[in-house]
A = this chain, B = another copy of it.
Amino acid sequence: MDTEHRVILNVGGIRHETYTHVLKKIPATRLSRLTPNLANYDPVLNEYFFDRHPGVFSMILNYYRTGKLHYPTNVCGPLFEEELEFWGLDANQVEPCCWMTYTQHRDTQDTLAVIESLDLDGDPPTQEEIAKKFGWEDDYYTGNMSHWQRLKPRVWALFDEPWSSKYARVISFISVAFILASTCSFILKTDPSFQIPDIDVFYSLRVVDEGGFKNYHKTIGTDKPLTSPHPYFFYVDLICNIWFTIELLIRSLFCPSFHKFVRSPLTIIDVVSTGAFFFESVLHAILIQTGSLVTLDFLSNDLCAQLIRSLFCPSFHKFVRSPLTIIDVVSTGAFFFESVLHAILIQTGSLVTLDFLSMICVLRLFKLTQHFSGLKILIQTFKASAQELFLLVFFVILAIVIFAALVYYAERSQLNRENQFTSIPLGLWWSLVTISTVGFGDMVPKTYLGMLVGSLCALMGVLTIALPVPVIVSNFSNLYSHSQARAKLPKKRRRVLQA
């Protein structure tokens, strides 16, 4: 009879039986240390009572029996892990076939932590939480909160938590409207129908020998080779940027932690794009200011004209003192100054900088992140999928390099006058366009061998991109569906991490 070696474990009312030596298999756990001296030992029924989940316990006991830890699939991961913890077992010992189950709920926890950190609309925080956030725990508990300490969180919520109050929503709405207005202005001012010509004034000097007397002619003309956006756009930009500046000032004044605020990428974008606008405006104003001297040029000549005049004038002294000459000298100087400035600007690439500065404005769109939770989730997805994005780019680069080389040599292998693949770098562009199935058609293989390479490229492309994308998509839909699930719960239950 083997009954004497058996042990009865009453777990939550259900009696499990096993041999005593089975429980010794995993040492230093709750079950390996069972002795009749324990309070939960019932000598009448000869059993140990544990107030735990009976169903899950059969998986625990099975671990002792078989030495293999499998996760049950009828209860969720955290529940099983809590049981494992109670029984003193290590969740890491899970069998490889259950690795996915094991990591899945860890991923869920990560997802939930991310959502918690996204600061989506929820229950308004308590006074205590606010004090903690602003670092005034001491003042809060001693009860002597200053007037400023009461005002600061309210203003901050007004500008940073659109869901907190009706007024916050209005301010958020205004902010979004200004971002959109500034972006529309940015887009539309490049459209030819919204541009006005820049009139360029030019003048020339011709020396004419009229009957022995050397005379000179000044010609003033206009030209319109350049256009500039309609000035109204400047006013729209100005108003928008004034709002952004005000917003930025208020935010920097009322933020919980100035250190953290300054380092946030959104603040940096804000400062740079607003700064870029004002810098550009001032620079432009200086250019116009110096450019306004151009009007003086109507009365002037360029330096060589001066020299010619001074050469042919009867009296140099008189010539120098004549008011016309003075004006001439001044305006010519101004012209040279402007030319030199312009030259320096071009030389140092400042005009390119101007282009670059105006392009920065488009980053302002990322400020919408503060106002739309969908965008927050998108950015969080890209952060969480950094590894998969790297993989995607890596696969794509590998594939395009290989296909670019193949198509380059394939198109050269045959006499082919219309060959468009004149270098591998151009082939890179073609193979990327083919792999992504965009297929602009600006470059197309003309030989049968090139077509074969193109076919492989198109098919491989589908795979190269199709493979890492689902991982990224599942990261997004994980975040999105959890945030949707959270939004359906009553506000009080939305906190992930409880005390």
Contacts and interface: CB of A to CB of B under 8 A. Distances in A.
B459 A396 contact: yes
A375 B2 CA distance: 56
Contacts of A441: 439-442
A100 B472 contact: no
Interface in A357-410: 359, 362, 365, 368, 372, 374-375, 378, 381, 390-396, 398, 401-402, 404-406, 408-409
A463 B474 CA distance: 12
Nearest to A479: B467
B13 A13 contact: no
B16 A54 contact: yes
Contacts of A488: 103, 106
Interface string A423-442: 11100110011101111111
Contact of A13 (B14, B378, B398, B442): B14
Interface residues of A, number: 144
A12 interface: yes
A449 B16 CA distance: 71
B73 A423 contact: no
Given A53-B62, A75-B70, A484-B103, A436 B465 contact: no
Nearest to A40: B2
A359 B424 CA distance: 11
B187 A404 contact: yes
Contact of A9 (B13, B359, B438, B485): B13
Contact of A451 (B13, B103, B429): B429
A470 interface: yes
Interface in A448-477: 448, 451, 454-455, 458-459, 461-463, 465-473, 476-477
A96 interface: yes
B2 A49 contact: yes
A488 B96 CA distance: 12
Interface stretch (A163-171, A188-196, A242-250, A329-337): A188-196
Contacts of A444: 440, 442
A108 B40 CA distance: 42
Given A68-B79, A372-B394, A429-B455, A362 B53 contact: no
A200 interface: no
Contact of A359 (B99, B381, B409, B489): B409
- Residue of A59, A93, A395 ringed by the most chain B CB atoms within 10 A: A59
A459 B477 CA distance: 19
Contacts of A59: 53, 75
6 contacts: A6-B49, A73-B74, A73-B76, A103-B484, A374-B395, A375-B395
The 7 A-B pairs with the shortest beta carbon distances in the complex, nearest first, are: A13-B17, A438-B439, A74-B74, A436-B458, A13-B16, A440-B441, A441-B441
Given A77-B97, A190-B408, A190-B425, 11 more contacts: A14-B14, A76-B101, A78-B95, A103-B488, A187-B405, A365-B398, A368-B398, A438-B438, A441-B441, A442-B444, A470-B477
